[in-house]
């Protein structure tokens, strides 16, 4: 392992809206992928341990594609040394633009499953729409990711039904998880300024257009799972603009430890 001078990233405040949009998508995938990876070796049974680990790998793969693209936008000639790794490991919590939902703690298996289902349903319709982006690179990333997310949605949806319509204990745990996580779903469809900017240019996804099909999908699964959707819930927000819960700091402390302990290290 050798060391080089670490790259100094440009401040988030001077990044253009397209770059911020790509980073937002990458951050969502990276943080949820890291959360899921915490289950590796701890799943309820071997088959599901492998399944959640593979979903984590899919999400981190999506993040890599998006970070690579963001690096090319920021540093098209490669003169600044900005890469997917520097974007993942050298930014602080306030520079991340992920939704608050994906950084919430794993809790028990029911909470992890429900978090995955809510976000996979969102990604399913999001990536389906992103395939029509005027940005050909984003359209290609959306096409590839949709194939993976289709499986994520089916897998997590089946688990929601299994737990919700299972034993009294599994139903109770899932309903409690829903009470905890539902307040973070509103942010998914509340566009930040950089999202609106890219939507107006036909680059980004119109979140208002995918909200209804997302809700229909969620309600359909919840009906099978005998779950009650919380009503009149205050929706949390801020993650898209760098205002995060305390949980993200702990995630990054783990995720970025090696780079912070040994700045610029390479293998």
**8 A C-beta contact, residue 173 and residue 110:** yes
pLDDT in tens, 88-135: 999 999 999 999 999 999 999 999 999 999 999 999 999 999 999 999
* Angstrom distance (rounded) from CA 96 to CA 56: 19
Q: Tell which wins on pLDDT, 267 or 175.
A: 175
The count of residues in the chain is 267
Q: Compute the mean pLDDT over every residue in the chain, rounded to the nearest whole number.
A: 93
Distance CA 42, CA 52 (A): 10
C-alpha to C-alpha distance for 200 and 235, rounded to whole angstroms:
25
3 pLDDT higher than 60: no
Model confidence pLDDT, tens digit, residues 212-233: 999 999 999 999 999 988 888 8
- Report how far residue 19's alpha carbon sits from residue 72's, in angstroms, rounded to the nearest whole number: 10
| Rg (the chain; Cα; Å) | 18
pLDDT above 80: residue 40? yes
**What's the pLDDT tens digit per position in 188-212?**
999 999 999 999 999 999 999 999 9
Pairing type for strands 265-266 and 2-3 reads antiparallel
| 46-74 vs 109-130: helix crossing angle, rounded to 10 | 40
Quote the pLDDT of residue 11: 66
- Average pLDDT on 147-163 reads 97
Q: Locate the domains of the chain by residue range.
A: 2-266
pLDDT of residue 7 exceeding 70? no
pLDDT beyond 80 at 260: yes
Residue pair 92/8 in contact (Cβ under 8 Å)? The answer is no
Q: Residue 20 has which token pair?
A: 């911020």
Alpha helices in 9-91 (DSSP H): 17-37, 46-74, 84-89
> Using an 8 Å Cβ cutoff, are 174 and 160 in contact?
yes
Round to whole Å and give the CA distance between 159 and 170.
11
| Predicted pLDDT of residue 1 | 44
Alpha-carbon span 78 to 232, nearest angstrom: 49
Domain 2-266 coded CATH 3.40.1190.20? no
| CA–CA gap between residue 31 and residue 244 (Å, rounded) | 12
């Amino acid at each position: 392992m050798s060391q080089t001078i670490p790259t100094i990233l440009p401040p988030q405040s001077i990044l253009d809206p397209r770059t911020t949009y790509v980073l937002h998508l990458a951050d969502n995938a990276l943080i949820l992928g890291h959360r899921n990876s915490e289950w590796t070796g701890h799943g309820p049974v071997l088959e599901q341990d492998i399944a959640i680990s593979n979903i984590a790998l899919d999400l981190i793969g999506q993040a890599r594609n998006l970070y690579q693209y963001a690096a090319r936008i920021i540093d098209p000639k490669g003169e600044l040394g900005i890469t997917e790794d520097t974007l993942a490991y050298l930014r602080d919590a306030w520079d991340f633009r992920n939704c608050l939902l994906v950084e919430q703690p794993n809790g028990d298996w029911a909470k992890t499953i429900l978090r995955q289902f809510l976000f996979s349903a969102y990604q399913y319709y999001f990536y389906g729409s992103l395939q029509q982006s005027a940005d050909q690179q984003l359209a290609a990333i959306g096409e590839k990711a949709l194939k993976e997310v289709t499986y994520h949605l089916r897998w997590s949806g089946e688990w929601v039904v299994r737990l919700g319509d299972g034993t009294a204990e599994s139903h109770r745990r899932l309903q409690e998880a829903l009470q905890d996580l539902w307040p973070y779903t509103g942010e998914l469809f509340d566009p930040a300024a950089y999202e609106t900017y890219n939507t107006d240019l036909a680059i980004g996804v119109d979140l208002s257009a995918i909200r209804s099909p997302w809700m229909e999908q969620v309600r359909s699964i919840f009906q099978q799972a005998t779950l009650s959707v919380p009503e009149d819930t205050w929706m949390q927000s801020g993650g898209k603009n760098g205002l995060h819960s305390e949980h993200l700091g702990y995630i990054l402390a783990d995720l970025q430890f090696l780079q912070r302990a040994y700045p610029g290290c390479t293998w």
